[in-house]
Structures are given as C-alpha cells and as structure tokens.
Amino acid sequence: MNHLRILARNSLRRRDFSLRSPSRSFCNLSPESNRPSYGIAFDIDGVILLGSSPVGGSPGALRRLYDDSGALKIPFLFLTNGGGLPESARASEMSQLLGLHVSPLQVVQGHSPFWKLVNRFGNELVVAAGKGEPAAVMSNYGFKNVISMDEYASCFDHIDPLAPYKKWMTGQDGHKEPRSRENLLSHRVHAAFIVSDPVDWSRDIQVLCDILRTGGLPGKEIGPQPHLYFANDDLDYQTAFPTERLGMGAFRIALESIFNRIHGNPLEYTSFGKPNPFVFKNAEDVLKEIASSTHSHSGSHDFRTLYMIGDNPKIDIRGARQAGNPWFSILTRTGVFKGKDNHAEFPADLVVDTAEEAVDFILTRESAKQSLL
C-alpha cells in the first residue's frame, strides 16, 4: 500500500491538471480490446451532490472522463441507493445539475433491480411507496397493475386516522388514469415495493401493516403476508443538512418493530441496494455494456480495476470490499464520513477529501500503469 499512498500524495498535490478531458494516455486502453481497462462507480448523495448542489468539484472531475467533443471516454456510472424517479428522468436531472450528458444506462438506482421481478408480479396488483414517482418507476419497468401508496390509501375511508390533521397534499403519480375504488377494494395486493424514502411514515406504516397482516386485503381477516421489497436498507444518508438524515433503513426498522408487536409472525422482507455484492456485480455488467457501446466493440470485456467512490463506509466501502477483485474503494469526506483517518471497521483502499481528488488519483494511477506496459 506504500506505493498507493505515495501516488495519492503526489496526485493530490498537483493542482495544474486541466478540468478538460485528459490526454489519451489517461484512457489506459487494454491492448487486447482497445478499450479502457478500468471503470468508475460514483455514489451520488455526499459524493457528487449535497441536496441538489454539486459538491467536491464533481462537475469538473466528471468532465475529465469525456473527450473534447463531449463523448464519454472513460466508462463510469452513478451507483446510488437513492431513487424515486425513472432512470431516464434521473439521468436528465443529473445532466442539468452537472452540465454534461448522462445517459439512463449510467444511472443505477436502489430500485433498478426491481425490473427483474416483472415476470413474477408484472400482472398482479402491487403497491409502490416512496417520494417522487414510485408507481411511474414500476410501470416503466413493466409492471402493468401498480398503484402508488398515495392513490391506494385514498381508496379506503378512515384508513389513516391522522389524515384530517395533515395539512400537506401528497402528490399523485400521473402515469395512469385513476382507477375504480370498488375494483381496488376487492383485489388482493400481491406485493409492496418501497421504491424510495417514504414521505408520510405514519400513514405508510399503518397501511403496510394492514396490507401485510391481511394477505393483501386491508380491513379483512388475517392472512398470509404478501411479499415486501425495499430498494435499500440505508439507516442514514447525507443531504445539505450538516448531519445525516434518516433513510429507508430507519423506516424499515420502524415498520418491522411495529409489525412484530401486532402480528404473530415476524415480518418477512427483501432488501436491495448497496452493500449487497450482487449490486456491484450488476454495476460491473453495466460498465461493460457502457464500455462496449462507447468504444464500438462487441464481445466480452474484463476490467483490470473498478473504482467505487463513496462517502459511506458501511454502505459503499463495505460493499466494494465484499465484492472483492477487481473493486478498489475510495472514501471521500464530503458526506457521511468526515474522519481524519481511515474508517476503523470498513477501511477503504484510499481516503481523499473530494470526488475531484478521487478522479485525480485514478487518472494519475492509470496513466502510471499505462507507462509501464
């Protein structure tokens, strides 16, 4: 690791790098495939953005991964546990915030793997909960009979006893015409998907308990629990507020604690998102697809190194460490982690201050590798 520390130190001292695209040598093209031998996965919250504002010189750092014409040069993607919007909408949002072109393929969100469950639940009634447009997300994946928690709860009189005291108006997904209330009340919910961080915890916990205790028919007799899926299990995450905010993992803990107190059987659920190793395997596959489409080559392509740049040791760094070779973890100090030294329980391969410094290190390291070939 000494040579990495020296390289990082030298890299971070250099402040004369242009924020434009690097020289061709930074591509470190594999001789056998003429494609980059490395790829990069960036977390978003706390690494690229704080709220909706870029952080850590991220726009300039990302620009170095494109050539002078604006075409992608180094394969990279955003690997986030966040969500609530279809990948195409999130890519458009990131493009506007960062001032560069981001394709939907470059956005892997916590709920992205939900599309693999279409064969199982594609035609069944499912409920999608969370901020943003959860039902639109699921519909975009191919679920034909999905309804948002907002719309579903509104079909039941008095299901939320606190509704009269809530002064806000929850938004409705506008991707479909409103359905028949009578038709919904008589159909069983086969699965509930927590697509993004829920907004109204009290209502969502109440309605989910109703769905999960009754076999998918709120107000009816106790029945087998429908399936429950969470897009991630993050206890907290970094926003523009100085300290971390509670995430979907906290909501899961609250729901599970209450459900287990009022029901005879413990809550059964499946959580996706980082740090699950399959998320990193999927990211590797997507990066291969990006590399193939960017460099117009067909066939398989193996990376020598994949870099994970994140701010959360328990999520980003732990996940990269569990995934193993070829992942190399880089921890930034712009989000959840703010320590002076490396994290004790889940140490990264490298700790830097910002995403800009992380990219600087990567390009310098890969250029040095190329010069030795």
pTM score: 0.86
Mean pLDDT of 11-23: 32
pLDDT digits 0-9 by tens, 83-125: 999 999 999 999 999 999 999 999 999 999 999 999 999 999 9
Mean pLDDT of 283-302: 81
Residues of the chain with pLDDT > 90: what percent? Answer: 80
| pLDDT at 178 (0 to 100) | 59
Q: Tell me the pLDDT of the chain averaged across its residues.
A: 89
| Pairwise pLDDT comparison (330 vs 18), residue with the higher score | 330
Find out whether the peptide bond into 198 is cis, omega within 30 degrees of 0.
Answer: no
The domain ranges of the chain are 38-110+275-371, 112-271
CA pair distance 94, 103, nearest whole angstrom: 9
Among 97-111, 164-178, 292-306, the range with the most confident prediction by mean pLDDT is 97-111
**Which of 115-124, 156-165, 182-191, 350-359 has the weakest average pLDDT?**
182-191
| pLDDT at 200 (0 to 100) | 97
What does the block give as tokens for 359? 């990219």
pLDDT digits 0-9 by tens, 194-250: 999 999 999 999 999 999 999 999 999 999 999 999 999 999 999 999 999 999 999
CA pair distance 291, 119, nearest whole angstrom: 28
Region of residue 221 (left: phi > 0; alpha: psi -120 to 50; beta: else): beta
| pLDDT at 8 (0 to 100) | 45
CA pair distance 195, 128, nearest whole angstrom: 6
Residue 170 pLDDT exceeds 60:
no
- What CATH code would you report for 112-271? 3.40.50.1000
Mean pLDDT of 249-264: 97
- What CATH code would you report for 38-110+275-371? 3.40.50.1000
CA pair distance 144, 131, nearest whole angstrom: 20
Residue 168 pLDDT exceeds 90:
no
